[in-house]
Amino acid sequence: MSRFEGPAAAKDQLRQQLRRARRSLTSGERQAANGRICSTIISLITAPRPVALASYLALVDEVDLALVHIYWWALGQSVWLPRVCGPGQLAWHQISSLDQVACGSYGIQEPDPDLAPQGDLPAAALVLVPGIGFTNDGARLGQGGGFYDRLLSTHPGPAIGVGYACQLVESLPHETHDQRLRLMNIDGQLITPG
């Protein structure tokens, strides 16, 4: 089976469809959903507080977790944020404010390695995972670079997928490297795959 007949081609088609759905949200819908998602995460990390929090800086149409970052920084904690350091590879940096980020790979806001040295993501860190699509059974469709699949395959700590309601689908094509999530926050509702 060629790439054009199998799961990879189906994933590419779904990415286009789900990106359109995400982009079709109005500013008000996006802001309200971001608030619900962030509120749910903040309630989860308030007590007991995780050892460390790893997150991401959102693309224009992704779930924006800025409220979570602000809350965490107000507690005097650093947020671990990723920087693309090679094909499918993420480096992690402790960030205490947006003054430590710059435009990096793929036009994404990333940690500036001159202002926030790279470190080892703590094994117990709670990782907030972006995605393009999710299913109720924990499947996740990412951007296609395998960055978070690699992370999830080795990270022993908890991870939560975050997305808008329009990103929840009935099924996703699956490949052997795809990692499933054990917890998702879709539009502020926690989903634990059974």
Q: What is the pLDDT of residues 78-131, one digit of tens each?
A: 999 999 998 889 999 999 999 999 998 777 899 999 999 899 999 999 999 999
User: Is 177 inside any structural domain?
Assistant: yes
Is 23 domain-assigned?
Answer: yes
Q: What is the pLDDT of residues 12-70, one digit of tens each?
A: 999 999 999 999 999 999 999 999 999 999 999 998 899 999 999 999 899 999 999 99
In a domain, 170, yes or no: yes
Please state, in angstroms and rounded to a whole number, the distance separating the CA atoms of residues 37 and 189. Answer: 8
Residue 144 within a domain = yes
Q: Do the domain assignments include residue 2?
A: no
How many CB atoms sit inside 10 A of residue 40's CB?
18
For the entire predicted model, the pTM comes to 0.94
Asked, for residue 29, whether it belongs to a domain, the answer is yes
Look at residue 1 and tell me whether its pLDDT is greater than 70. no
Q: Answer whether residue 1 is part of any domain.
A: no
Residue 88 maps to a domain: yes
Strand positions, DSSP E, the chain: 53-54, 79-86, 89-95, 101-103, 109-111, 118-119, 126-129, 133-134, 140-141, 159-163, 184-186, 189-191
CATH of residue 134's domain is: 3.40.50.10420
Confidence of residue 5 (pLDDT cuts 50, 70, 90): low
Q: The domain containing residue 177 runs over which residues?
A: 7-191
